[in-house]
Structure 1
Amino acid sequence: MKKEKKYYKIGEISKLYKISSDILRHYERIGLISPDFRDENGYRYYSKKQIWKLNNIRNLRNLGVGLVEIKEFLEERNIETTKYVIEFQLKKIEKTMEELLQLKEELEVKKNNILYYEDYKNFNKPIIKNISSRKFIKKNGDFKYDWEIDYELRILNEKIEFESDFIFTENQIGATLKKEEFINSNYNTYYESFIINECKGEIVPEGMYLTLVFKGSYKNTTKYYENLKKYMELNNYEVIGDIFEIYHVDIHITENEEEFITEIQIPIKIKRFS
């Protein structure tokens, strides 16, 4: 009959529990585990009485429990502390389920948005729309390139209540062109980036906008702004505020610039002549 092994080296435990030797040594230093003895060469040996703790430690660490709290639990285990840990685990699982449901909703919105623009029939066509009030989280700065805007949007995204990458959020993102820049035909310098969301931010009131959705590279933006300016002149409209560019499909979704989809929104009113 094979003799049962009583003691294990740190490397064997590391392999069994898929925990690095360095982490196990750290656990030893703070008193979570301790070797039963060391041999004359300094090798640590652990008995099963020590290594059973690793299951608890690993499970609790995966739930985000701190090492200090784990140490306290292992030193004072009883029915009450175990019930507390179970309750903590249940709450953590419930929170994870809520976050996954939120992510599912966001993904569905993003998917539906992509499907909507796959079947869109009004590219490059000026359309007058009344847009309801919205909340904008804004960040000022001077931007000329899409990668500059993307960097600022990443910083701005930290302010959103739930952190997520842009591909996984229903929030609309974009940049703002000053009214004066539009009037002077400077269409490629933006002074702020923004995220439109339902949680927080500056309220932009309801208003009438001249909009245009175009597909393709941002290099074509000037052409569409010029077309919109001509449309305004022909139809007796004037710009009354800064212009928003909304990036419905951008580099976060595709690397092919021909698949980019951008919407220009110009706040307008009918001119009144004295």
Structure 2
Amino acid sequence: MKKYYSIGEISKIYNISVDTLRHYEKIKLLEPALKKESGYRYYSSEQIWKLNNIRNLRGLGLGLEDIKGFLETRSVSSTEKILNSQLQIVEKELEKFNRLKEELLVKKSNLEYFKNDVLFGVPQLKSISKRRVIKSKGRIKEDGDIDFKIKLLSIKTLSENDFLFTENEFGGTLSRENFYKNKYDIYEEIFVINNEGTEMGEEIGKGDYVSIYYRGYYSENYRYYAKAKEFIKENNLEVIGDIFEIFHVDIHTTESVSEYITEIQIPVREL
């Protein structure tokens, strides 16, 4: 004797809502084997294979219309076609997650470096390799504006993740003019350092920079600019371009302002 299951039983067994089953019926993807005058719907044991297929194919990411078409014309050939298509999707997802894993490991390594190996408040001269930066023009003073500009820049990169979880770093530029005027609170532009191996952004050649790290809020940067200026003067150096401030650790990473880490990079050459 054929066994029937109520829509409620099917919903409970397969953890599928009654509304979803009704939708399947509406689009003729899975129609009840039996409808009573009372409105109750029942599914036969012979339909279980179909529901299993629907669940499996949904798990592979197929849309309902594609599933419906497959079930109506299924064959070994069409099954192989779907499997090959989904394998390609899985490979792309694996590639994406492997890339994300690498980015997370870099980010973790950077945080460990900033916690343990950085000398704060002491200017030093260092050479920085060429890099690409993606810039957003427009003067910025408010932190909220900085976050908004950063989000706009993230759209221009290949990364699907916000910068907390990528190896890209961001910051703001201070003009050389404002540097000499001791006006350190206006960013000429916001930038992202593109570390994704693409050709996006403006290339900045290798050069020498006076670098100084500091902890705390950005309003304290004047203390470290003063130290950098003294270092530049003592070492007979000349500032040759706009200054980079890189927000290595900021509000996206920590709630504690005391844990913020910013690096000032001033491009220089010998006089």
Do they fold alike, i.e. is TM over 0.5? yes
Structure 1 Cα separation of the partners of residues 146 and 121 of structure 2: 23
C-alpha displacement of 1:19: 2.7
C-alpha displacement of 1:83: 0.8
- What code does the residue aligned with 2:265 have? Q
1:54 aligns with 51
The answer as to whether partners of 2:170 and 2:191 remain within 8 angstroms in 1 is yes
Q: Tell me which of 33, 40, 47 is aligned to 1:43.
A: 40
1:110 aligns with 107
C-alpha displacement of 1:263: 0.7
1:208 aligns with 208
C-alpha displacement of 1:211: 1.0
C-alpha displacement of 1:131: 1.1
C-alpha displacement of 1:4: 7.4
Structure 2 Cα separation of the partners of residues 207 and 215 of structure 1: 25
Matched residue SS, 2:255:
coil
1:189 aligns with 186
List per-residue Cα deviations over 1:160-214 (Å, max 9, x = no partner): 2131132321112212222222222221111322221232221112222111111
Q: Any gaps of 5 or more consecutive residues in structure 1?
A: none
Matched, 1:25 2:22: yes
Alignment of 1:1-274 (within 5 A): 5-9=3-7, 11-197=8-194, 198-199=197-198, 200-271=200-271
Structure 1 Cα separation of the partners of residues 12 and 187 of structure 2: 54
**Structure 1 residues 259 and 58: alpha-carbon distance in aligned structure 2, compared to 1, 3 A threshold:** same
List per-residue Cα deviations over 1:24-81 (Å, max 9, x = no partner): 3333222211122432233333323344323322332233222222221111100000
Bigger mean CA deviation after superposition, 40-49 or 254-263: 40-49
**Structure 1 residues 234 and 103: alpha-carbon distance in aligned structure 2, compared to 1, 3 A threshold:** same
- What code does the residue aligned with 2:139 have? D
**Structure 1 residues 49 and 191: alpha-carbon distance in aligned structure 2, compared to 1, 3 A threshold:** farther
Structure 2 Cα separation of the partners of residues 20 and 192 of structure 1: 51
List per-residue Cα deviations over 1:212-253 (Å, max 9, x = no partner): 111222231122122222332333333221111112222222
The answer as to whether partners of 2:29 and 2:68 remain within 8 angstroms in 1 is yes
Equivalenced residue count is 268
CA RMSD of aligned residues (A): 2.2
- What code does the residue aligned with 1:148 have? D
Q: Percent identity?
A: 49
C-alpha displacement of 1:149: 1.5
C-alpha displacement of 1:7: 2.9
List per-residue Cα deviations over 1:116-173 (Å, max 9, x = no partner): 1222242111111121111112222332233331232123212221311323211122
The answer as to whether partners of 2:185 and 2:219 remain within 8 angstroms in 1 is no
The answer as to whether partners of 1:215 and 1:258 remain within 8 angstroms in 2 is yes
Structure 2 Cα separation of the partners of residues 250 and 36 of structure 1: 60
List per-residue Cα deviations over 1:73-118 (Å, max 9, x = no partner): 1111000001112222322332232222222211211111111122
Structure 1 Cα separation of the partners of residues 23 and 180 of structure 2: 64
The answer as to whether partners of 2:2 and 2:44 remain within 8 angstroms in 1 is no
Bigger mean CA deviation after superposition, 135-144 or 109-118: 135-144
